[in-house]
Structure 1
Amino acid sequence: MRDYFINTTRIGFSSWSDADLNLASQLWGENEVTRYICSTGKFTHEDIVNRLNTEIHNYELYHVQYWPIFELSTEELIGCCGIRPYKSETHSYELGFHLREKYWGQGYASEAAKAAIDYSFHILKAKKLYAGHHPQNRASEKLLLKLGFQFTGREFYTPTGLYHPSYELVNR
């Protein structure tokens, strides 16, 4: 049984640890999950280990990460959703989410993103959230707009080598 620090109707948010390589592999080992995250579209075992270590490191330094999220009824890994520091701005974060394919189209991304936004604005007192997506990922574009993010332009994203549409959401 994992400890959850955020609960929604269907989702529990936990934290990544060194013991979670198997879970990280379930998520980032799925080609449909990673096809928009990196230039090759696939994570190697080393990429998965590095990604897990990055999330753990972000938590150690900033107390935030793209947290692993679990279906409360089954305790099965849905994916991850959370925030990371955005550039050098104080109290500004980047929102992100990666869901295992079997959870697509069921409202989990929206439910998790709303919880992460609420946590960012009310608990962390974030002033702004930023987000971006691969130019071909229309589902992420649609969700970000539905969540109230405003398009700000395109930013070069080194892992894909492409300019990604970028958005911001201001805490009012």
Structure 2
Amino acid sequence: MGVRHHGRRRPARDGPAALPHRRHATLSYLLREDSWGRGYATQAVADMLRHAFTATGLTSIGARHHPDNPASGRVLLKNGFRYRGIRDGWPAYGIHRPGRHQRLRYEIKIG
């Protein structure tokens, strides 16, 4: 699993150079076939979202999945992503950080 930040890096004089100017990232994950269907991806995405929206300055995260893998789309939907349509032939999803008055929904526990 990984997250890639998008946007320019801020100059060091404006704050930490490691913080991106824009607060959007893209989520990617890949599981071995023998681990499919066990809830690992669902839990990992939930954990990543909780971290991304509480410990970083991210405000939105996007994700896409292979058109032949609808199970990955279900993983994203279970975690609060919204389907955004087809982009470059791939189903695309997005999620925004909950506002002050919204609770984080990332408390999925498998087990």
TM-score, scaled relative to structure 1: 0.47
Specify which structure has the bigger relative contact order, considering alpha-carbon pairs within 8 angstroms and separated by 6 or more residues. 2
> Structure 1 or 2: larger strand share?
1
Q: Deviations over 1:43-90 (max 9, x none)?
A: xxxxxxxxxxxxxxxxxxxxxxxxxxxxxxxxxxxxxx1211246671
What residue is the counterpart of 2:95 in the other structure? Answer: 169
Number of aligned residue pairs: 86
TM-score, scaled relative to structure 2: 0.71
Pair 118,139 (structure 1): closer, same or farther in 2 beyond 3 Å: same
Any conservation in 2 of the 1:131–1:166 contact (CA below 8 Å)?
yes
Which SS does the other structure have where 1:112 is aligned? helix
Identical-residue share of aligned pairs (%)? 33
What residue is the counterpart of 1:136 in the other structure? Answer: 68
Which SS does the other structure have where 1:99 is aligned? coil
Which SS does the other structure have where 2:48 is aligned? helix
Task: Identify unmatched segments of 5+ residues in structure 1.
Answer: 1-80, 157-162
Whole-Å Cα distance in 2 between the matches of residues 106 and 151 of structure 1? Answer: 23
Q: What are the residue-to-residue correspondences of 1:82-161 with 2, within 5 Å?
A: 82-86=2-6, 90-156=22-88
Task: Identify unmatched segments of 5+ residues in structure 2.
Answer: 9-20, 99-111
Which SS does the other structure have where 2:49 is aligned? helix
> Structure 1 or 2: larger helix share?
1
> How much does 1:102 deviate?
1.5
